[in-house]
Amino acid sequence: MSVLVFIEQRDGKVRPVSREALGLAVRLAPAFGGEVVGVCLAPSDPGLAALGDAGCDRTLLATHASFARYDGVVDAAVVAKAVEQVKPGVVLFANSSLARDLAPRVAARLGVGLASDCTGVTADGGALTATRPVYAGKAVQSVRFPRTPALLSLRPKMFTPMTGAGKAGTVEAFAPGELPASRARVKDVVAQAGGKIDLTESEIIVSGGRGLKGPENFKLVEELAEALGATVGASRAVVDAGWRPHADQVGQTGKTVAPKLYVAVGISGAIQHLAGMSSSRCIVAINKDPDAPIFKVADYGVVGDLFEVVPALTDAVRKLDVHA
Amino acid sequence: MIQVVCIKQVADTETRVKVAADGRSLDPAGVTWIMNPYDEFALEQALRIKEQEGSGEVVVLSLGGAGLPTTLRNALAMGADRAVHLKADLVPDSLAVARALAAEIQPLAPAIVWCGRQAVDDDAAQVGSMLAELLGMPCVTSIAKFERAGESATVERDIEGGREIIEVTLPAVFTADKGLNEPRYASLKGIMAAKKKPIEEKPAVLGEPNLEVTALALPAPRAAGRIVGEGVGAIPELVRLLREEAKLL
């Protein structure tokens, strides 16, 4: 049986998270004794032949003008049709904002279970076990799949994409069939200022909390983020206070993140915040209270006045010229 | 117009997770149970729509065990008209839940089905979209803005690096994100009125499991943190560690 990967595209480009899913597919394929097959819905080929390098043997490409924008009712029907044709042992999705609707729909359509937002997957003779954080990361659940195919969505940044896989990357036309009538239409997509990367897909995050004392002082966080090439995040306290939009919130009622570097500025470290960022590879905390819980999870802590420490750190990073 | 709001009772977000003796579930000892926070945004939006229109019915639907009526009573106190409690000792996988809920929802023919973006216990974020598929409805997940215009609605949601504006023909499923509104607290009058509102109880019809939970474990604790130093004087050492030890800069 093969491993089927949903290849997500936006604006004519394959999204990087789909390469992460392909990376896992390549590792799972031997246990299932099959090939890695992609399925992509797009108005035209978004350069799928290049996915051979990322481990894809072949990709089914369904083309239609309406595939430029996601429509759950339509897209789920097409993906389910591809699953029925390929008969894979596993279907992988990247857990993007698109797949958070698509994957459960496909699961409901096929009548099989879905393990969402997985951070680990092992195959033991074709029997998959997926691990996934629950309670925003306060615990980890292991799940198994009583039926075939097993559907999984993968947390961004947790699976390493392959390069130089040397697979064929053949592109095959896939007839989507008659499309159901559309009842939800994306009218517009408003880009965030500066083309900001989503927190869940960021390599580096600088988050600010109540220690900043007011929304105007977030410029300190923004300047450090700019110097590091990072995305700005926030604690629940400052989002609830209206200083930052909810899209910036890290924690149990916000986003769960796992960047390479997480810098917490003026964040004490409430349990619901720690749950959302504790799987970051390296955590730096800057806080004036040496007893703040954030220091218990921080690899590197600096006790001090953030109004002095943060600008000094920004200066030091700028002098490094990290982008050189 | 009927609106159905699907809610779930969950452990409070301040809960320290302990694993039960079965090794697969949360130890319920000492846990405070609340309405899933995202479901509060969903319920609030349904109530606002009903209030704006001056008519209609808001039905709260939930699947859960013996403790669930406390949360349902709270939803009624906020302003829902009636509640349906699908009784099950254990909450099964998302697809099994969605099928049980869809069977209840179908005969009501609601204009809108509301869910929270995800439950803050299993974080699966599946039931809303599964319901939509089972009911043959469109669905927009994680909405941050809602405006109704006759038989359609215009909603907004955050996606990676931007915000989508989507026009949806009703009936439809929406899952609510934080930021959609500010949920109300139940008033004393609401609490009194809720005592007289009906909670219909019936056994949940559940099929075979679609996913099997084999273990629940606490994550490996992070290695103990280290204080690099105090104040601005610690910056050179911090930068050195980030470059040479963590190899990040």
The string of pLDDT tens digits covering residues B170-187 is 999 999 999 899 999 999
A32-43: pLDDT as tens digits: 999 999 999 999
pLDDT bracket for residue B218 (50, 70, 90): very high
Give the separation between CA B63 and CA B86, rounded to whole angstroms. 5
Mean pLDDT of A261-284: 94
Judge whether B31 is closer than 8 Å to chain A, CB to CB. Answer: no
Show which of residues 130-149 on chain B sit within 8 Å of chain A, judged by CB atoms: 130, 132-134, 136-142, 144
**pLDDT score of A11:** 92
Count of alpha carbons within 13 angstroms of residue B82, beta-carbon side: 9
Residue at token pair 């924008």: A69
| pTM of the entire predicted model | 0.91
Interface of B with A in 67-96 (CB under 8 A): 93-95
SS (H, E, C) chain A: CCEEEEECEECCEECHHHHHHHHHHHHHHHHHCCCEEEEEEECCCCCHHHHHCCCCCEEEEEECHHHHCCCHHHHHHHHHHHHHHHCCCEEEEECCCCHHHHHHHHHHHHCCCEEEEECEEEEECCEEEEEEEEHHHCEEEEEECCCCCEEEEECCCCCCCCCCCCCCCEEEECCCCCCCCCCEEEEEEEECHHHCCCHHHCCEEEEECHHHCCHHHHHHHHHHHHHHCCEEEECHHHHHCCCCCHHHEECCCCECCCCCEEEEECCCCCHHHHHHHCCCCEEEEEECCCCCCHHHHCCEEEECCHHHHHHHHHHHHHHHCCCC
Helix (H/G/I), strand (E/B), else coil: B28: coil
| A265, β-bridge pairs | A208, A286
pLDDT(B39) > 60: yes
B-chain residues within 8 Å CB-CB of A189? 159, 162-165
Residue whose pair of structure tokens reads 């604790």 in the numeric block:
B221
Q: Indicate which of B91, B113, B127, B238 best probes the interface with A, i.e. most A CBs within 10 Å of its own CB.
A: B238
pLDDT one-digit tens code per residue, A71-119: 999 999 999 999 999 999 999 999 999 999 999 999 999 999 999 999 9
Mean pLDDT across chain A: 94
Q: Is the pLDDT of residue B45 over 90?
A: yes
Query: How many angstroms separate the CA atoms of A20 and A7, rounded?
Result: 10
| Of A109-113, A197-201, B17-21, minimum mean pLDDT range | A197-201
Judged against a pLDDT cut of 60, whether residue A322 lies above it is answered with no
Contacts of B120 in chain A (CB under 8 A): 135-136, 252-253
A190 interfacial to chain B (CB closer than 8 Å): yes
Contact yes or no for B14 and A272 at CB 8 A: yes
CB contact under 8 A, A200 and B236: no
Q: Closest by alpha carbon to A92, among A160, A142, A22? A: A22
pLDDT at A119: 95
* Closest Cα in chain B, distance from residue A151 (Å): 10
Q: How far is B79 from chain A (nearest CA, A)?
A: 24
Cβ pair A159, A21 in contact under 8 A = yes
A196, pLDDT greater than 90:
no
Residues from chain B that touch A135, judged by Cβ atoms under 8 A, are 11, 15, 17, 26, 120-121, 123
- Closest-approach residue (CA) in chain B for A199: B160
Is the Cβ pair A145, B38 closer than 8 Å? no
Chains A, B: CB contacts within 8 A come to 293
Per-residue model confidence (pLDDT) at position A200: 87
Task: Kindly report the number of other CB atoms within 10 A of residue B220's CB atom.
Answer: 8
CA–CA dist A219, A241 (Å, integer)? 17
What pLDDT, on a 0 to 100 scale, did the predictor assign at position A97?
Answer: 93
Say whether A303 and B141 touch across the interface (CB within 8 A): no
CA distance A99 to A18: 11
- Cβ–Cβ below 8 Å for A271 and B94: no
Average pLDDT over residues A138-162: 95
> A168 vs chain B: nearest CA distance in angstroms?
30
- Average pLDDT for residues A283-308, to the nearest whole number? 97
Residue A231 pLDDT greater than 70, yes or no: yes
Q: How confident is the model at residue A253 (pLDDT cuts 50, 70, 90)?
A: confident
Coil vs helix vs strand at B143: strand
Omega before B69 within 30 of 0, i.e. cis = no
What are the C-alpha distances in Å from A98 to residues A7, A194, A324, B128?
Answer: 11, 22, 34, 14
Distance CA A62, CA A177 (A): 9
Mean pLDDT of B39-44: 98
- Residue B13 is predicted with a pLDDT of 87
pLDDT at A321: 65
Compute the distance between CA of residue A286 and CA of residue A277 in angstroms, rounded to an integer.
15
B69-98 pLDDT tens trace? 999 999 999 999 999 999 999 999 999 999
* Complex prediction ipTM: 0.94
Which residue in chain A has the smallest CA separation from B216? A141
* Interchain CB distance below 8 Å, B126 and A316: no
Q: Which residues of B touch A192 (CB under 8 A)?
A: 161-163
Q: Is the pLDDT of residue A324 over 50?
A: no
Three-state DSSP at B92 gives coil
Decide: A143 and A176 in contact? Cβ < 8 Å. no
